[in-house]
Amino acid sequence: MVVTGLTAPSAQPRPVIRPVNTPFTTIDLVPQHAYELLERPNRIKDICGDVERNLQCVGKVLTPHTYVIHLFTAPYYKGKPAGAILMTVTPGVELTDVEYIAPNGVTTRMTPDDGVDDWGYGSPFRFTVLERQEHWIKLPRRPFPEPVWIDAQTDLGRVELESVKTGDLYTLGKRKFFTLQALAKGLRVRDEQDADMWCDGSETPAIKPFRSRDLTMNELYDFDGHFLMTMTYPKGC
């Protein structure tokens, strides 16, 4: 017997992800120890002495190291493992290899939500924060199938967050903004002016009359919960 008029149950739509208690915030996912590793070529003589006579030391000092950031489904160790982030750091070289390893072993290349290409000026790999519970940090969906938690204090050596504040200069798409105020559900901004980043040494010009604009959460975050604004001048002038 063939039954007609019935349709297969459709999959539940995935919800839009938004931050819980840490809006407009990113975390430096580079482990604290990795910065010492990146700096080693500049300290090679201090570490190895006579470089030409201590090639074995030099080779050891300049060896890449892979850090493991464990992922969980909940902000405590009783939560189910959700894979890991593997971050390979080569002394003196920009980060080139950050991967998400799913529980089934499938790997996905990761890209930062923000950062600076020269690690001497700041983090080269910042990622959106959805929620914080002490040293536990929740990261958004993608490349993870659902948001995940990390123990930042244990795996990174510290909790280093960066939140948008009044006076910051950020870029959204092709527009550059000056932050006027953080709102409950967005950011109040105005368009950037020359005076906001005046670097030629002469007297800074006055701020011109402007019209403010309120950016909504839907403008500031994508569907999976990634913050879309990036620092306009991470290296300063």
The pLDDT of residue 22: 95
Q: Are residues 31 and 137 in the same domain?
A: yes
In the structure encoding, which two tokens stand for residue 129, read together? 């924060």
Q: How many domains does the chain have?
A: 2
Instruction: Tell me the CA distances in angstroms from 152 to 7, 128, 159, one per residue in order.
Output: 46, 13, 6
Mean pLDDT of 177-197: 96
Mean pLDDT of 146-172: 97
Rounded Cα–Cα distance for residues 120 and 40 (Å): 13
Mean pLDDT of 155-160: 97
Rounded Cα–Cα distance for residues 69 and 100 (Å): 9
Q: For residue 18, with 0-12 CB atoms within 10 Å meaning exposed, 13-18 middle and 19 or more buried, which class applies?
A: middle
Q: Are residues 91 and 206 in the same domain?
A: no
> Which of residues 147, 163, 179 is at a domain's end?
163
Q: Are residues 61 and 101 in the same domain?
A: yes
Mean pLDDT of 204-218: 95
9-64 residue pLDDT tens: 556 788 999 999 999 999 999 999 999 888 887 777 777 877 677 777 777 778 89
The pLDDT of residue 183: 95
Note if the bond before 15 is cis, omega within 30 degrees.
Answer: no
Q: Are residues 39 and 95 in the same domain?
A: yes
Asked whether the beta carbons of 15 and 130 are under 8 A apart, the reply is no
56-104 residue pLDDT tens: 777 777 889 999 999 999 999 888 999 999 999 988 777 768 999 999 9
The pLDDT of residue 10: 56
The pLDDT of residue 167: 96
Domain that holds residue 213: 169-231
Q: Residue 1's pLDDT band (boundaries 50, 70, 90)? A: very low
| pTM of the shown model | 0.89
Q: Are residues 149 and 187 in the same domain?
A: no
DSSP structural state of residue 110: -
Q: Are residues 106 and 201 in the same domain?
A: no
Rounded Cα–Cα distance for residues 22 and 31 (Å): 21
DSSP structural state of residue 205: P
Across the chain, mean pLDDT equals 90
Decide if pLDDT at 8 tops 80. Answer: no
Asked whether the beta carbons of 208 and 215 are under 8 A apart, the reply is no
Residue 13 lies in a domain: no
108-133 residue pLDDT tens: 999 999 999 888 888 999 999 999 99
Which of 113-122, 146-155, 209-218 shows the lowest mean pLDDT across its residues?
113-122
> Which of residues 134, 163, 192 is at a domain's end?
163
Q: Residue 204's pLDDT band (boundaries 50, 70, 90)? A: confident
Residue 11 lies in a domain: no
